[in-house]
Amino acid sequence: MTPVQQTYPAVPAAPAGVPAARGRALTKVYGRGDTRVTALDAVDVEFRRGEFTAIMGPSGSGKSTLMHCMAGLDSLTSGQAWIGDAELSALDDTGLTRLRRDRVGFVFQAFNLLPTLTALENITLPMDIAGRAPDRAWLDEVVDAVGLRPRLGHRPTELSGGQQQRVACARALAGRPEVVFADEPTGNLDSRSGGSVLSFLRSSVREMGQTVVMVTHDPVAAAYADRVLFLADGRIVDEMTSPTAERVLDRMKAFDSAGRVVEVG
Amino acid sequence: MRRATLRSLLAHKLRLALSAVAIVLGVAFVAGTMIFTDTLDRTFTALFQSTASDVGVTAEAGFDAGVDGTAGTRPVPAELAQRIRGVEGVAAAEGYVQAEGVYLLTADGQVLDTGGAPGIGASWITDPELSLGELTEGRAPERAGEVALDSGSAAEAGYTVGDRVTLLTPGPRVDATVVGVFTFGEDGGLAGASLTAFDLATAQDLTGAGDGYTGIQVLAADDVTDAELRDRVAAVVGDGYDVQTAQQQADEQSAALEEGLSFITVLLTAFAVIALFVGSFIILNTFSMLVAQRSRELALLRALGASRGQVTRSVLVEAAVLGVVGATLGLAGGFGIATGLRALFGTFGLTLDGDLVLSAGTVVWSYAVGVVVTLLAAWVPARRAARTPPVAAMREDHVAVERSLRRRTVVGAVLAAGAAVTLVGSAVAEDGGNAPALVGVGALALVLAAVALSPVAARPFARALGALLPRLAGTAGRLARDNAQRNPRRTAATASALMVGLTLVTGFGVLGASANASVDALVDDALRADYVVSTAVGQPFTPEVADRLRGLDEVAAVLQERFTQVQLDGQAVFAAAVDAATLDRGLTLEYLSGSSDGLAGRGVLVDETTAEARGWEVGDTVEAVSAGGQRAQLTVGGVYAANQAVGSVVVSLETDAALGGPALDRYVHVVLAEGTDAAAGRAAIESVVESYPVVSLKDRDEFAGEQKGQVDQVLLLINALLVLSVVIAVLGIVNTLAMSVLERTREIGLLRAVGMTRRQLRRTVRLEAVLISVYGSVLGLGLGLVLGVSLTRALAEQGITELVVPGGRLVGFLVLGALIGVVAAAWPARRAARMQVLDAIATA
Ligand SMILES: Nc1ncnc2c1ncn2[C@@H]1O[C@H](COP(=O)(O)OP(=O)(O)O)[C@@H](O)[C@H]1O
Ligand SMILES: [Mg+2]
């Protein structure tokens, strides 16, 4: 099979068919001796293009660690992670920085925006850092989708928490990354603000073809996703497609008791 | 509560260290300056004030001539000592002779370098109770051909007892054998001066005192007080003599000393004030950042039930502890700085002997700066933090309340107006004598105004200059600009240390360039002779030189020039004494009326300003009184345009001698005979000058160069002091930046997470530093220009007639300012770049 010579847009760069991100035997161990914690225990995972994945699990189960390792923010103890066709362990600090800048989007639970920059400047920050002009049409589409056009000139302190998180989402998407990682993006928001952030993330997947991976505690939030991965003690213990809030809740309860049984046994 | 405070302090070790460093720096700067000033003061005081006698008798001065040695004094007749010995209550009385202009030659025939300090010759006081010198080797000089040397000079020249030495004196050269070495005064310190002791008869010969004395020292018997003895002695010696107790002499001399050293004292005091300023700024800056950063933590304590008072108090206790520790370390650091300064002054020949002086004042100020300033720096933000409602502070990104800059604007504007009035006043002042003081006051007001206003101007400046940055450096540039604008108070406070330093460097740069240009103008306009013979610093030397030069065929004219202090119609002036016959061949005077002929008899020439101020015209008679009390009626014989070479009053050598002026030249101007080959002429003069190592021969350019060299040396000294303030300023910038970086940990984490490379991050920090330091430099240059121009104008009467702004050097300072930013940013930038992304994000 001879690959057809094709021109891809600058970002994303990986050939179609390759998953947006994947990990093999991801293992992360913190500390040593008595304080040794295995945060990730040989996790195999794949995030397909155009899919909205939620990651759930009890506190301390390794959700954030998984995201950080997948996104090149943290190094693995063993195993391999790819963003598109780029293998992360092959990259040095500058390579990882470029990768994050050009091919990954981030939304953190809090403190997503630089206080000195306006909302618009925050949205275009990664492109500005790269010295690249944003794709205007795409930027307009993203800005309209988050519904922040009238607030673009405001500084973060002049925005509500929900608005700030939507600016962060817009920033994550503005560079058309291969994958957006969001770590409890609605963790600090009331349900109404949270809902608007989640709707936006879902529509970015459904309508704009983006790939989103989101960590959450909240079954209602997870229900916005196409697929839910359940993590416990650093392992993926279950997966659910087309989730609803009730089904997720049920599953969580089941794990909770199962987990307790395992611990006791 | 206390435990919470302690824990939080320890948890932020780096912040704590940085704050402590700020206090140490600030205090070290203040303490170092004060220790050094005290040491300098002590050394000079010891030099001039040391006296072992209880009562001293000298000839009464015609008027107070200060410490300057230009005025001649009358000798005290020897029989007076005899009469004093007869006074009841006198245990001992001994006459002594003392004069300047006695120099020791080293083994290779060079004058032993005293770094500008005087070479003193004196008679050895034989009564050990009256003698200040204490022999450490050998014995006292007893006859002609024997001398004793002060231990410092002996060591420097490598002489010991038994060596043959040659001495230059105001009279002939003297060859002698070293018979003793002695230490002088309590500390053995002479501040670089050399002291050679002769037997009384030889000293009287050498100094031309005849069989008289410079003074008589009297020792009181045990049962009589100094004051009683003084009154008894005064009754015996009668009019025409000053009889003073040791205390009176010390007081009078220290008053004279203060006047004589006012330049150095003013400079060092100004420097200590700057030190106080810069030090306080660094502490204020750092500590208020430290507390501001912890405001969330303090709010948590409030939420958990701590009262406002408790929160404020806990911060203050912490500040006090840190202040005491920092001040103590700073005091130790001050010793280091003072040691460095002493070494620096040593390289200029100003040797300070003995231990460094730690006065109570230094300790008090060090702790005042360290503790009080720290408390103040902590109190303001602590109170603000305590007032913040806990909920507001706990919220994720609570809005920092921006305080209004209105009060600063008003205060700054008032100060600026005051500065303007004072400076303009100094420029138009009728009495030129007050002008430098007015400039000083104006400069202080100006700097204070700038400090008050600089936060107001910081934002517009950062915006204007920063407008270039995004274009030059992209996002890094824009973030740097935004960060510099973010907290104008901090930006201004960080920049102000540099500002103060550069203000002075620039001001003195203008003054120095102007002084050098004035030397050129002086040489061009006033010197007419081909050569000048003089010592390097205008010290007196024997008139033999002029006599022998006059005898050369190659020389057409020789003009001797001396300086003296004399009172004319009740007002003291500096006067030049010259050869009337050759005045017009050696110097150019522009006569407005009369001519050099007017010097004949008891004539006097005065410059235009003096003539106008006193209302003198050619033909008027003026009453002259010398410092030695001799009187003469002088006739004004001419009025000339202002002339830096001779000053405001000129008399003939004969008149000077009649007024008791010593027969010592300061400058000898030499005119070559017509048709003499320049090289041959020079060689001939050189052959004479060679045998007087204390003087040297200079053509016009060399003379100008030598004069400028002195200006440059003073400037170098001042700049060396100021470099220290700049160094401290740089460390202050480092400190503030490092704190800023810590404060922005989460922002930095975010930037790194969304793709900013380490290089870009470093560049951001660096650009911010450059912006701040350029801001300080621009302010400093501006203020320095105003200061320098005002000072130069104010010193016009002291001979700085030209005004030159050294443009190239000022541009250099600006570039230096930018470089300082780059250097200061190096470490904070590296720290920022090294931060682990995840740690940074996790930091709440
Ligand atoms: N920097 C670290 N050092 C040591 N242990 C860590 C570190 N970060 C996370 N852990 C541990 O790894 C495990 C997984 O953490 P994390 O991924 O943050 O869990 P989650 O996000 O699911 O709550 C936890 O037991 C946590 O204590
Ligand atoms: Mg987590």
Distances (CA, A) of B272 to A106, B335, B339, B394: 53, 14, 16, 43
Q: In B, residues 440-459, which contact A (CB 8 Å cutoff)?
A: none
Regarding the beta carbon of A15 and ligand 1, being less than 6 Å apart is answered no
pLDDT of amino acid A7 = 33
Q: Is residue A221 included in any domain, yes or no?
A: yes
Least confident window among A29-38, A245-254, B10-19, B262-271: B262-271
Regarding the beta carbon of A60 and ligand 1, being less than 6 Å apart is answered yes
Residue A16 or B24, more confident? B24
Least confident window among B51-60, B123-132, B473-482, B592-601: B51-60
pLDDT of amino acid B422 = 82
Q: Which two tokens stand for residue A199?
A: 């709707």
Ligand that comes closest to the CA of residue A108: 2
Regarding the beta carbon of A63 and ligand 1, being less than 6 Å apart is answered yes
Total beta-carbon pairs less than 8 A apart between chain A and chain B: 73
Q: Across the interface, do B757 and A97 touch by the CB < 8 Å criterion?
A: yes
pLDDT of amino acid B10 = 63
- Å from A216 to nearest chain B CA? 17
CA of A201 to the centre of ligand 2 (A): 19
Q: Please tell me the distance from the alpha carbon of residue B758 to that of residue B455, in angstroms, as a whole number.
A: 30
Q: Is residue A64 included in any domain, yes or no?
A: yes
Q: Across the interface, do A156 and B397 touch by the CB < 8 Å criterion?
A: yes
A114 interfacial to chain B (CB closer than 8 Å) = yes
Residues of chain A with C-beta less than 8 angstroms from the C-beta of B757: 94, 97-98, 129
Mutate to test the pocket of ligand 1, among A65, A67, A181, A216 (most ligand atoms within 8 A of CB): A65
Closest-CA residue, ligand 1 atom 11, reads: A39
Residue of B nearest to A160 (CA): B397
Residue A157 has its nearest CB partner, among B399, B482, B752, at B399
Q: What percent of chain B clears pLDDT 70, i.e. is strictly above it?
A: 84
- Å from A17 to nearest chain B CA? 26
- Rounded to an integer, the average pLDDT of B184-189 is 57
- Å from B6 to nearest chain A CA? 27
Answer yes or no: is pLDDT of B69 > 70: no
Regarding the beta carbon of A37 and ligand 1, being less than 6 Å apart is answered yes
φ, ψ (nearest 5 deg) of residue A146? -80, -10
Closest-CA residue, ligand 1 atom 18, reads: A64
Q: Across the interface, do A114 and B747 touch by the CB < 8 Å criterion?
A: yes
Regarding the beta carbon of A75 and ligand 1, being less than 6 Å apart is answered no
Q: Please tell me the distance from the alpha carbon of residue A94 to that of residue B63, in angstroms, as a whole number.
A: 81
Q: Which two tokens stand for residue B593?
A: 């009326």
Q: Across the interface, do B758 and A74 touch by the CB < 8 Å criterion?
A: no
Residue B112 or B122, more confident? B122
Q: Is residue A34 included in any domain, yes or no?
A: no
pLDDT of amino acid B353 = 64
Residue B755 has its nearest CB partner, among A68, A101, A116, at A101
- Å from B743 to nearest chain A CA? 13
- Å from A97 to nearest chain B CA? 5
Q: How confident is the model at residue B402 (pLDDT cuts 50, 70, 90)?
A: low
Residue of B397, B481, B754, B767 for testing the chain A interface, max A β-carbons within 10 Å: B754
pLDDT of amino acid A205 = 92
Q: Across the interface, do B754 and A117 touch by the CB < 8 Å criterion?
A: no
> Could you tell me which residues come within 8 angstroms of residue B184 by beta carbon, excluding any fewer than 6 positions away?
B50, B132, B133, B134, B150, B151, B190, B195
- Rounded to an integer, the average pLDDT of B197-223 is 81
Residue of B nearest to A100 (CA): B755
Residues of chain B with C-beta less than 8 angstroms from the C-beta of A98: 755, 757
For residue range B531-545, list pLDDT tens digits in order.
999 876 667 788 888
Closest-CA residue, ligand 1 atom 5, reads: A30
Residue B758 has its nearest CB partner, among A93, A131, A161, at A93
φ, ψ (nearest 5 deg) of residue B160? -130, 175
Q: How confident is the model at residue B304 (pLDDT cuts 50, 70, 90)?
A: low
- Looking at ligand 1, which atom is closest to the CA of residue A66? 17
Regarding the beta carbon of A111 and ligand 1, being less than 6 Å apart is answered no
Q: Is residue A258 included in any domain, yes or no?
A: no
Answer yes or no: is pLDDT of B108 > 50: yes
Residues of chain B with C-beta less than 8 angstroms from the C-beta of A126: 754-755
> Could you tell me which residues come within 8 angstroms of residue B174 by beta carbon, excluding any fewer than 6 positions away?
B147, B166, B167, B202, B206
| Amino acid code (one letter) for B116 | G
Q: Is residue A83 included in any domain, yes or no?
A: no
Q: Across the interface, do A100 and B399 touch by the CB < 8 Å criterion?
A: no
Closest-CA residue, ligand 1 atom 26, reads: A60
A63 interfacial to chain B (CB closer than 8 Å) = no
- Rounded to an integer, the average pLDDT of A61-74 is 90
Q: Please tell me the distance from the alpha carbon of residue B584 to that of residue B590, in angstroms, as a whole number.
A: 10
Distances (CA, A) of B133 to B46, B127, B826: 13, 11, 56
For residue range B230-271, list pLDDT tens digits in order.
888 888 887 778 888 877 777 776 666 556 555 666 666 666
- Looking at ligand 1, which atom is closest to the CA of residue B839? 1
Q: Which domain holds residue A157?
A: 50-75+90-252
Question: In CATH, what number is assigned to the domain containing residue A216?
Answer: 3.40.50.300
Residues of chain B with C-beta less than 8 angstroms from the C-beta of A131: 474-475
Q: Across the interface, do A98 and B475 touch by the CB < 8 Å criterion?
A: no
Q: Across the interface, do A108 and B841 touch by the CB < 8 Å criterion?
A: yes
For residue range B350-379, list pLDDT tens digits in order.
666 667 878 888 899 889 888 888 888 778
Q: Report yes or no: B140 and B197 within 8 Å, Cβ to Cβ.
A: yes
Answer yes or no: is pLDDT of B524 > 50: yes
- Rounded to an integer, the average pLDDT of B429-453 is 75
Residue B25 or B300, more confident? B25
Q: How confident is the model at residue B128 (pLDDT cuts 50, 70, 90)?
A: confident
- Rounded to an integer, the average pLDDT of B386-404 is 57
Q: Across the interface, do A125 and B746 touch by the CB < 8 Å criterion?
A: no
Q: Is residue A9 included in any domain, yes or no?
A: no
Which among B816, B828, B836, B682 has a CA at the least distance from the CA of B766? Answer: B828
Q: Which two tokens stand for residue B479?
A: 């973030």
Q: Which residues pair with B483 in a beta bridge?
A: none
Regarding the beta carbon of A95 and ligand 1, being less than 6 Å apart is answered no
Mapping DSSP to helix (H, G, I), strand (E, B) and coil, where does residue B795 land? coil
ipTM above 0.95, yes or no: no
Q: Is residue A38 included in any domain, yes or no?
A: no
For residue range B742-765, list pLDDT tens digits in order.
778 888 888 888 888 899 899 999
DSSP H helices, B304-370, are: 308-347, 360-367
Q: Is residue A41 included in any domain, yes or no?
A: no
Q: What percent of chain A clears pLDDT 70, i.e. is strictly above it?
A: 90
B743 interfacial to chain A (CB closer than 8 Å) = no
Q: Please tell me the distance from the alpha carbon of residue B194 to that of residue B150, in angstroms, as a whole number.
A: 7
For residue range A129-184, list pLDDT tens digits in order.
888 888 999 899 889 888 889 999 998 888 988 899 889 999 998 988 999 999 88
Residue A128 has its nearest CB partner, among B475, B746, B837, at B475
> Could you tell me which residues come within 8 angstroms of residue B700 by beta carbon, excluding any fewer than 6 positions away?
B523, B527, B530, B532
Global pTM? 0.72
Total tally of structural domains belonging to chain A: 1
Q: Across the interface, do A114 and B750 touch by the CB < 8 Å criterion?
A: yes
Which among A129, A132, A138 has a CA at the least distance from the CA of A170? Answer: A138
Regarding the beta carbon of A64 and ligand 1, being less than 6 Å apart is answered yes
Residues of chain A with C-beta less than 8 angstroms from the C-beta of B478: 128
Q: Across the interface, do B483 and A116 touch by the CB < 8 Å criterion?
A: yes
Least confident window among A176-185, B163-172, B412-421: B163-172
Which among B237, B48, B52 has a CA at the least distance from the CA of B127? Answer: B52
Q: Report yes or no: B35 and B603 within 8 Å, Cβ to Cβ.
A: no
pLDDT of amino acid B843 = 53
Regarding the beta carbon of A77 and ligand 1, being less than 6 Å apart is answered no
Regarding the beta carbon of A229 and ligand 1, being less than 6 Å apart is answered no
A241 interfacial to chain B (CB closer than 8 Å) = no
CA of A38 to the centre of ligand 1 (A): 9
CB-based burial, A116-126: b 16+ in 10 Å, e otherwise: bbbbbbbbbbb
For residue range B645-699, list pLDDT tens digits in order.
888 899 999 998 888 777 888 899 999 888 888 888 899 998 888 877 778 888 8
For residue range A7-25, list pLDDT tens digits in order.
333 444 455 678 899 999 9
Least confident window among A47-51, B38-42, B194-198: B38-42
Ligand that comes closest to the CA of residue A68: 1
Q: Which residues pair with B565 in a beta bridge?
A: B574
Q: Please tell me the distance from the alpha carbon of residue B14 to that of residue B742, in angstroms, as a whole number.
A: 9
Average pLDDT, chain B: 80
- Rounded to an integer, the average pLDDT of B824-840 is 83
Q: Across the interface, do A128 and B841 touch by the CB < 8 Å criterion?
A: no
Least confident window among B156-165, B426-435, B514-523: B426-435
Answer yes or no: is pLDDT of A1 > 70: no
- Rounded to an integer, the average pLDDT of B209-230 is 81
